[in-house]
Amino acid sequence: MAAAMAVAGERPGRPAGPGPGPGRGEEPFSPSVLGTREHWDAAYERELQTFQDIGDAGEIWFGEESMVRIIKWLEKQKVPHDSPVLDIGTGNGVLLIELAKSGYTNLTGIDYSPSAIQLSEKVREKEGMSDIKLKVEDFLAPSAELSGFEICIDKGTFDAISLNPDNAVGKRKQYVRSLCSVLKPEGFFLITSCNWTKEELLNEFREGFEILEELPTPKFCFGGRIGNSVTALVFQRKKVRPSILDKLD
């Protein structure tokens, strides 16, 4: 992962990484430009230029293994190849390409950065995967047509949103609301994060979602304690009860 594009947040008073999480409504991270659209626009402008110059699609967040982990889980779960899948904050769209290569046929990627979508379109064209749908959309204000997904995947996007300098708590809540509106009841949500621990993510998504599985990620040992630098979880959206959606308002 290129250092210039790292998305790990800094916790006030202690370095980024696993540890005790924030309480309800607290701001766990120092605000950062990594949480702004301007940052991503500029980053993907550069990546677009690099792609045009040398054909390199750029950053694969959390490495190739993060894509393998997701695809293996879908395969183990025997998710039908035509299930509608949404990649939230798709960036260069490489995950969608890998999903298509593994046989998935109903793939959509959104990103609020027009330059990210331009890049993902170019990557899609190069790979000859014209069936993948790509759209500029802000996940925090999803269009009505973004609905009915059986699988939603997030690799680093909730992390980025959590660093927004302007009302990150409200934006995280809106993220959960948006997820509830695009993901079918009992649909699966796969999240990979380098900012949030398992316990923190359980807390963030406790309204409307239940944990199904923690996917194994590389471990590190520091000061005699073992931790994970990346958390990968699979949630399932609970069956809809109107009271759950009310609670999110």
Ligand X SMILES: C[S@@+](CC[C@H](N)C(=O)[O-])C[C@H]1O[C@@H](n2cnc3c(N)ncnc32)[C@H](O)[C@@H]1O
- Output the smallest distance, CB 223 to ligand X, in A: 28
Instruction: For residues 48 and 54, give the distance between their C-alpha atoms in angstroms, rounded to a whole number.
Output: 10
Q: Which is nearer to ligand X, 61 or 209 (CB)?
A: 61
Contact yes or no for 93/109 (Cβ under 8 A)? yes
Instruction: State the nearest-atom distance from the C-beta of 108 to ligand X, in Å.
Output: 12
Residue 236: strand pairing partners: 188, 210
184 vs 207: CA distance, rounded Å = 15
- Residue with Cβ nearer ligand X (32 or 90): 90
Q: How far is the CB of 163 from ligand X (least distance, A)?
A: 10
Q: For 115, what's the count of Cα atoms within 13 Å in the CB-facing half-sphere?
A: 18
Of 119 and 187, which has the nearer Cβ to ligand X? 119
Give dist(CA 228, CA 225) in Å, integer: 10
Residue number, 39 or 238, with CB nearest to ligand X: 39
**Shortest separation between residue 211's beta carbon and ligand X, angstroms:** 21
Tell me the Cα Rg of the chain.
17
Output the CA angle 115-191-224, nearest 5 degrees: 115
| Separation between Cα atoms, residue 59 and residue 20, nearest integer Å | 29
Q: Which lies closer to ligand X via its Cβ, residue 106 or residue 164?
A: 164
Give the list of residues 6+ apart from residue 47 with CB closer than 8 angstroms, or none.
57, 58, 59, 92, 115, 119
Min CB(221)–ligand X separation in Å: 26
Least separation, in Å, of the C-beta of 193 and ligand X?
10
- 56 vs 186, beta carbon nearer ligand X: 56
Asked if 220 contacts 228 with a C-beta cutoff of 8 angstroms, the reply is yes
The smaller minimum CB distance to ligand X, of residues 177 and 238, is found at 177
Kindly state the smallest distance separating residue 42's Cβ from ligand X, in Å.
11
195 near 29, Cβ under 8 Å?
Answer: yes
Where on the chain is the footprint of ligand X (CB under 6 A)?
7, 40, 59, 61, 89-91, 95, 110-113, 116, 138-140, 155-157, 160-161
